[in-house]
Amino acid sequence: MQASIEQAKVEGADLVELCIDSMEFSHISEVDKLIQHPTLPAIVSYRLKSSRKSSDEACKNTCLQVLRRALDLDVEFVEMDYEVASDPLMSEIIYSRSNTKIIVSSYLNGGGKPTTEKLGDVIACMQATGADVMKLEIAVDSITDLAPVFEMLTHCQVPLIALAVGSRGLISQLLGPKFGGFLVYGSLGGKSVPGLPTLVSLKQVYQLEHINPDTKIFGLVSNPVGHSKGPILHNPAFRHTRFNGIYVPMLVDDVKEFFRTYSGTDFAGFSVGIPHKEPAVACCDEVHPLAKSIGAVNTIIRRPIDGKLVGYNTDCESAISAIEDALRERQGINGVASHTSPIAGKIFVLVGAGGAGRALAFGAKSRGARVIIFNRNYERAKALADAVSGEALHFEYLHEFFPEKGMILANASAIGMEPNSDQSPVPKVEALKAYELVFDAVYTPRNTRLLREAAEVGATVVSGVEMFIRQALGQFRLFTGGLAPEDFMRKLVLEQF
């Protein structure tokens, strides 16, 4: 445990929690050594629910012994379960303590969705124990379950910590300081713990010390969301431009319920990812004409003057302009110059008919390309092809489709995205020789299998990173209502990928 404390100090922790219930010790003196020589301020905790290896009575006695010793040694904080704090023996010790602050915690699991009434009752019970700080640890099934938690943080008269367990609870930590949370937790060593940001990301990416009640909330509404690089781009860009905002990943299952729940002006803007780009259109009060024609949004802004949700699509122009610029560079090298789109008249082979696929299809059509769509769900491909006067073919024929040389291939599906980076929508390298340019919207990894194999056969390749940068610049302008620091953001992304 001492090594973990040292690591926490190196990573920038202000405080460490010493979970004594997770230790194996034969005598209280072993605990003394740990408590007496911390290199950081500490919370000493002993959880009954995780330590019941012997009888309940024996566990409780050990718990009381450990916590009493921590209080005697004047550690900064002692955390105990509500059950322990309510014990008459512990109550006497709590009221006779000297400098130590008492954190009383309660774990809520099951019993339906948390409500402000239910949480208020639990908080009142904890407050009655004489707690200096209260802690709610809650199992959540949906990101929308956190709305009453944020309300409690805002209105609670006693310092409150809220920790939502599970991947859908991550924003309980990232947004805690905005709503008045007493502290937040982070995991050590970059270790992935559902519901917890890493300590390194808290210190380097989010820098929560800059967050205050006036901070505007932005985030990626997606499922999955773990692959997103948005936080490492938008948060530093906000600070660079001195814009008071935070950008967080939001793992959303039901997009309509999400926007119904988080309807306040604090939630100011959203990137929209898989699989919500099309359903999110119906959540908007207004939709930009381009996004409406595409039938998908990747950006939603809450308009400050009236709170209405306005949907946009920055995917379309970002992807198509990246492809055009790469083709112009290739043609410039070959001594061919043109002021018209280099896509015009070419066969544009598109893989995927979701939100990103729709953006690419409409963009390619607007430039005069002949759009051919492959999708595992043929009916979706056919519907999109009809919308852009293109053609739909069955997915299994993709590796056999090369009617002419000099085509463009665009992958707008998730094939090849981490953790399945060994996959490619065109697994037969021979088929790639028909393409002059290959674009992959996947940007994790940056250099996908598809792009590597296309480059090997001489095609110009365009990474999804370039599309990501361009669409993020467009989003940032919409988020802030101002200019985006393009050089800063581009450098940041290229350093991180």
Active site residue ranges: 277
On the CB side of 60, CA atoms within 13 Å amount to 13
Amino acid at 79: E
Contacts of 100 (CB under 8 A, 6+ apart): 70, 71, 74, 75, 76, 77, 78
Tokens standing for 211?
Answer: 């967050």
Say if CB 361 and CB 373 are below 8 A apart.
Answer: yes
Residue identified by tokens 């985006």 is 484
What count of other Cβ atoms lies within 10 Å of the Cβ of residue 186? 21
Closest C-alpha among 391, 387, 408 to residue 344: 408
Determine the Cα–Cα distance for residues 294 and 388; give it in Å rounded to an integer: 9
What string of DSSP letters covers 433-475? GGEEEEEE---SSSS-HHHHHHHHTT-EEE-HHHHHHHHHHHH
Q: Which residues pair with 301 in a beta bridge?
A: 269, 310
Cα→Cα distances 137→6, 28, 149, 179, 410, Å: 26, 28, 10, 16, 45
Burial of 429 (C-beta count, 10 Å sphere; 0-12/13-18/19+): middle
- What's the token pair of residue 274? 């898989």
CA–CA dist 271, 351 (Å, integer): 22
Q: How many CB atoms lie within 10 A of CB 166?
A: 17
Q: Which of 203, 236, 285, 260 is nearest to 472 (CA)?
A: 236
What are the b/e assignments for 59-85, b being 16+ CB within 10 Å?
A: bbebbbebbbbbbeeebebbbbbbebb
